[in-house]
Amino acid sequence: MIERIHSAEELEVCEEVGRGGFGVVYRGLIKANNNEVAIKQIDLESNNTDLFEINKEIQIISECRLPQITQYFGCFVKHYKLWVIMEYVNGGSLFELLKPGPAEDERVISIIIREILLALEYLHNQGKIHRDLKSQNILLSKSGQVKLTDFGVSTQLSSNFSRRNTTVGTPYWMAPEVIVNNNGGHSFKADIWSLGCCAYEIFNGKPPLQNQYPPMKALGQIGRCHKDTDFVGLIELDKMNISNHFKDFLSKCFIVDPRDRYSATKLLNHKFITKYANLPEKSKLLKKLITNKHLWDQENHVDRSHNFYVPTEIARNQMKWSQEDDDSKNTAKTIHFDLSSIKQSSPTRIAYPVSPASSKRSSTRESSISPPASTVGDDEQKPNLILADYRQNSKIVSKEDTFANNLRPDFSRILNKVFHKLESKNTLTTEQYDHLVSLNSRLLDLLCFSQYSESYDSNNRKILVFQYLKYFLKELAKSGDTNSSNTKTILQRLIIPSTFTVSSQSNVADSEFVTMERNSRTYSQFDEIESSLLESWIDQMNERWS
């Protein structure tokens, strides 16, 4: 039967496969039989771990024995760490597997959803609610099995590790009653709503509303659904190019009143599920999903040896939203960086729109300095130049792309090195990783662009980029003049690391490389939402003092 693991001596710890606020997850081997397991190490000394909370979750997972739920093999304490041993599921999460593109084959959707329904039926029959059902928590094995995971501690693989109280992105999977009645009035039917969202997600690649709304707005939209037609209309279910069975299945999941919403047992008897329940090529179809992902990884130079880190899609979207949200305001006042033209010609690349905050930062700087030398004068025009060039140079895009693709692997290597360096000094959160990744990509875009600009000599452009970074920091590092804007002091406090003394300028411009590195740190210190908040705050300040 089930062999329990009692101590660390029985295990061999292999590579890291994920990490989060709670701790690190490793792949491991049972020495006795070489079976793979997932080892989650929770740091009990860390401030945010609550022993009672952890106990509760271990209790839940230890009470689940079902092929569709990741199995629990025991746990023990070693020094200040709690090791939780779980089944290792080697195919990756559904979230990862959807990255190459959605799975539009309804057979695949039906098969996956059926397995999850079996898991939910089991849980619900025991009065357990998963509460956080989403594609990140659905794992696939290479043999084509589907497993529900993450009851708080059992998170594994490089999925979204955000803690539950700070669940960025989870809003899209939330049922209306969870949003409206947050006093804990919701029942296991909330899981069914989330399941509908997952089914939708498999077909579309994204959960409902993610492409239209930022998380908090989506939350509002879902919360405002009172009639069954409200949500179904919102996601334009009628216009989806899917079978009637699938459509009906989704509409049963998206019934607003939880009492009328179908139960897992009832949905298991729905035609959309029964239709493919006995399909002989079941596991073959699911295996194909995994093979596709591998091929896609290869084509896109995803370094397999570093597959433990994959940036969350959500962070990228946030960037987009924060941009879109402020579009109306920004276009009027500030320079709007738009790299979208590049994106169109190269589907595999993701263009990062420069966040409004960074353009704002540069303009604030411009207003506060008086150019002491000619070089600085050049530098000052920089944002405008780049903007102009991005608009003009869409014709050189293809050339630029090949260059970028050649550089990308090297850039990733540098990125991974930086990760290791930073990692050894301070433990990074998933979010921080994401910031570094996006910064790295932006730098690449910037450099590739300057390499292939035709209007100016390329060397000059490269120098400009770095001079811009250099002077940007230099200006920030200057101690605020007596009556210059307070906003600058605020910026300084926010951006410059506390270890770095404001008045000493010599440190800043030692070499361009150093500045670059330092700059990357400063960016990683706050996320898109924070920077857009900062920006609106600065605007308010300006208005008040002008």
**Which residues are designated catalytic?**
132
What's the number of CA atoms in the CB half-sphere (13 Å) around residue 66? 21
> Contact, 236 vs 247, CB < 8 A?
no
> Contact, 486 vs 545, CB < 8 A?
yes
Task: Point out which span in 48-56, 179-187, 228-236, 301-309 binds another protein (CB under 8 A).
Answer: 48-56
Among 12, 13, 30, 62, binds another protein (CB under 8 A): 62
Residues 119-138 that bind another protein (CB under 8 A): 125-127
Residue 40 marked ligand-binding = yes
Which tokens go with 148?
A: 């529900």
Among 47, 183, 370, 424, binds another protein (CB under 8 A): 47
Q: Which helix (H) or strand (E) holds 179?
A: helix 176-180
In the complex with another protein, the residue whose CB is nearer, 4 or 227, is: 4
DSSP state of 104: -
Among 13, 29, 30, 44, binds another protein (CB under 8 A): 44
HEC profile for 76-97?
EEECCEEEEEEECCCCCEHHHH
Shortest spacing between CB 262 and another protein, in angstroms: 8
Task: Point out which span in 50-58, 305-313, 382-390, 485-493 binds another protein (CB under 8 A).
Answer: 50-58
Q: Which amino acid, 297?
A: D
First-to-final CA distance of the chain:
75
Phi, psi of 470 (to 5 degrees): -65, -50
Taking residues 251 to 280 in sequence order and writing x for each that binds another protein by CB under 8 A, - otherwise, the string is ------------x-xx--------------
Q: What angle do CA 348, 350, 351 make, to 5 degrees?
A: 135
In the complex with another protein, the residue whose CB is nearer, 125 or 427, is: 125
Among 11, 75, 225, 235, binds another protein (CB under 8 A): 75
Phi, psi of 38 (to 5 degrees): -100, 130
> Contact, 134 vs 197, CB < 8 A?
yes
Task: Point out which span in 55-63, 208-216, 321-329, 467-475 binds another protein (CB under 8 A).
Answer: 55-63
Q: Which amino acid, 522?
A: T
Which tokens go with 509?
A: 């411009």
- The SS3 call for residue 146 is strand
Task: Point out which span in 78-86, 281-289, 344-352, 523-531 binds another protein (CB under 8 A).
Answer: 78-86
Shortest spacing between CB 269 and another protein, in angstroms: 10
Query: Residue ranges for the binding site?
Result: 40
* Interacting residue ranges for another protein, rule: CB under 8 A: 4, 6, 44-45, 47, 51-52, 55, 58-59, 62-63, 65, 74-77, 79-80, 82, 125-127, 263, 265-266
Query: Residue ranges for the binding site for ATP?
Result: 40
